[in-house]
Amino acid sequence: TVVNERFKGNDRGDVKSYLNFIDGEWVPSVSGKFSTNVNPATGEILGKAPQSTKEDVDRAVLAAKKAQKSWRLVPAPERAEVLYEVARLLKERKEELAQILTSEMGKVISEARGEVQEAIDMAYYMAGEGRRLFGDTVPSELRNKFAMSVRVPVGIAGLITPWNFPIAIASWKSLPALVAGNAVVWKPASETPFIAGEFVKIYQEAGLPKGLMNLVFGSGGVVGNAIVDHPDIDIISFTGSNEVGRQINERAGRLLKRTSLEMGGKNAVTVLEDADLDLAVDGIIWSAFGTSGQRCTACSRVIVHEAVKEELEQKLVKRIAELKIGNGLDEEVNVGPVINRSSLQKIDKYVKIGIKEGAKLLCGGKILTDGELEKGHYYAPTLFTDVKPSMTIAKEEIFGPVTSIIPVKSLEEAIEVNNSVEFGLSSSIFSRDVNRVFQAMRDFDTGIVYVNAGTTGAEIHLPFGGTKGTGNGHRDSGVAALDVYTEWKSIYVDYSGKLQRAQIDNK
């Protein structure tokens, strides 16, 4: 195969090249054009992947359609066998995949291992669903009549996935789609083509029949739009920005196409005056600065009771100063780079707005350029305090290592502030008071709530997603993911031997 072919791509030496994967073959795009991916820690060009066109998507859909015709007839437990093999191969290659992930995405190696683990867990979990895929049997209103509802595949799933969790999120979507009997056309983020190519290789090695997993690389919306607009793609699952998600929903809505959207977050940790402050600091540091703040679940607000505000500030500033920043391949490093230069500038712009609007900068607040850091895209872990809920930095998603302390006077006020943003993904509370914890669990209006833990760290066997501007009611992962990739079919079997009329003959 031509995948992984080494060639002299530029003056920096050898780079890897990945191609599209359509109908079981690695094929170039009809455009003949490529885009490059870059190591955000070093600025080094890693390789290239095609800039595909609508024509490439059309070919992928044709292959998917053909393959799905027979895949839907394969018993689900047999389809699951492929997923068990995917899980095994992911496990076998965990370290290699983690290294690739860190090189092209930048997250520190321990987190990259964690992300691959998330894909492994999802593969085992969804493989298990192959022996369940539960439907319902219910009593009929009539004698000698049997009623049931079963899940059937939707058809072809178009997956559009982001760079921040390039293999975990791809696993959340592709595994339930496939075990439920669908075919997939997948556009990964252009920043992370390598891990996508490796994931597809694993599907292939695991014995997934050709045409079921099609990979089409692209950038700038061409491939994404072709997927959304294609009449034979039945469902679109997207994780990414709010702006793009809204566009997708509008386009897909015109075609009455199902969409599952997972978009931004503006997640808060609430710290009450009776909290274990050291534990809260651990949770905030991990959730605000892990993955350099580039998680939809990142803690970008800290809502704190004024009685413990100063103590919390001091502890946080001390811990931030201890964070080691650098190339994520170094096991000692705690915070890696952000994805690219424009992201770095966007983060810096938010910090400047924060200062202008009157927030108090406690630490960080700058692009790091010392020594080796100059080559990559590093932002200093940043902490603001005395932030008001109305300030821009308290409302908009920053997607970088920046978090803001917002002082409050009561739990009620904390809940109000927590719920005041347009997003609703994750929230957390640190308190030892069970009554107030339960009140927060009930009243935080997010799809995920943590008690005495930060806002990150969702497990794959629970539904993942949010309310309000975060999503459109669907969930990735957990058993809820199956609702995205299946239709309900209700079946009535009348074994009475005569015509029985519902609502008439039973009344």
Nearer to ligand UN1, 153 or 478 (CB): 478
Only segment of 59-67, 103-111, 335-343, 450-458 that touches ligand UN1 (CB under 6 A):
450-458
Angle CA(294)–CA(93)–CA(296) in degrees, nearest 5? 15
For residue 242, count other CB atoms closer than 10 A to its CB: 18
Structure tokens at 420: 């005041």
Nearer to ligand UN1, 36 or 452 (CB): 452
Residue from 156, 296, 351, 359 in contact with ligand UN1 (CB under 6 A)? 296
Residue from 457, 468, 472, 480 in contact with ligand UN1 (CB under 6 A)? 457
Nearer to ligand UN1, 201 or 295 (CB): 295
Shortest distance, CB of residue 303 to ligand UN1, whole angstroms?
Answer: 19
Shortest distance, CB of residue 25 to ligand UN1, whole angstroms?
Answer: 31
Q: Report the C-alpha gap between 139 and 131 in whole angstroms.
A: 23
Structure tokens at 80: 């699951």
Nearer to ligand UN1, 334 or 456 (CB): 456
* Selection from 180, 189, 157 nearest residue 75 by Cα: 180
In what helix (H) or strand (E) does residue 259 lie, and over which residues does it extend?
Answer: strand 258-262
Only segment of 152-160, 185-193, 208-216, 289-297 that touches ligand UN1 (CB under 6 A):
289-297
What strands, in cross-sheet order, belong to the sheet with 156-160? 25-27, 20-22, 213-215, 183-187, 156-160, 235-239, 258-262
Q: Does the protein bind ligand UN1 through residue 458 (CB under 6 A)? A: yes
Our answer to whether residue 262 is catalytic in this structure is yes
Nearer to ligand UN1, 428 or 456 (CB): 456
Q: Does the protein bind ligand UN1 through residue 165 (CB under 6 A)? A: yes
Nearer to ligand UN1, 117 or 420 (CB): 117
Length of the chain: 507
The answer to whether 377 and 344 have CB atoms below 8 angstroms apart is yes
Q: Which pairing describes strands 448-451 and 426-430: parallel, antiparallel, or unpaired? A: parallel
Q: Does the protein bind ligand UN1 through residue 164 (CB under 6 A)? A: yes
Residue from 295, 305, 474, 475 in contact with ligand UN1 (CB under 6 A)? 295
Nearer to ligand UN1, 155 or 454 (CB): 454
Nearer to ligand UN1, 164 or 334 (CB): 164
Q: Which pairing describes strands 213-215 and 183-187: parallel, antiparallel, or unpaired? A: parallel
Shortest distance, CB of residue 295 to ligand UN1, whole angstroms?
Answer: 3
Residue from 192, 260, 297, 427 in contact with ligand UN1 (CB under 6 A)? 297
Among residue numbers 179 through 208, which ones bind ligand UN1 (CB under 6 A)? none
Annotated active-site residue in 111, 191, 198, 262: 262
Residue from 259, 327, 343, 456 in contact with ligand UN1 (CB under 6 A)? 456
Q: Report the C-alpha gap between 230 and 110 in whole angstroms.
A: 39
Shortest distance, CB of residue 298 to ligand UN1, whole angstroms?
Answer: 7
In what helix (H) or strand (E) does residue 264 lie, and over which residues does it extend?
Answer: none
Q: Does the protein bind ligand UN1 through residue 427 (CB under 6 A)? A: no
Shortest distance, CB of residue 118 to ligand UN1, whole angstroms?
Answer: 6
The answer to whether 129 and 480 have CB atoms below 8 angstroms apart is no
Q: Report the C-alpha gap between 61 and 293 in whole angstroms.
A: 36
Which DSSP state fits 359? P
Site residue total, ligand UN1 (CB under 6 A): 9
N- to C-terminal Cα separation, the chain? 67
What percent of the chain is helix, strand and coil (3-state, nearest 5)? 40, 25, 40
**Farthest-apart Cα atoms in the chain, separation:** 85
Shortest distance, CB of residue 28 to ligand UN1, whole angstroms?
Answer: 31
Beta strands in 311-401 (DSSP E): 360-363, 367-368, 378-379, 382-385
Q: Report the C-alpha gap between 71 and 82 in whole angstroms.
A: 12
Shortest distance, CB of residue 454 to ligand UN1, whole angstroms?
Answer: 9
Binding mask 104-143 for ligand UN1 (x = CB under 6 A): --------------x-------------------------
Shortest distance, CB of residue 296 to ligand UN1, whole angstroms?
Answer: 4
Q: Does the protein bind ligand UN1 through residue 423 (CB under 6 A)? A: no
Positions in the binding site for ligand UN1 (CB under 6 A): 118, 164-165, 295-297, 456-458
Active site residues: 262
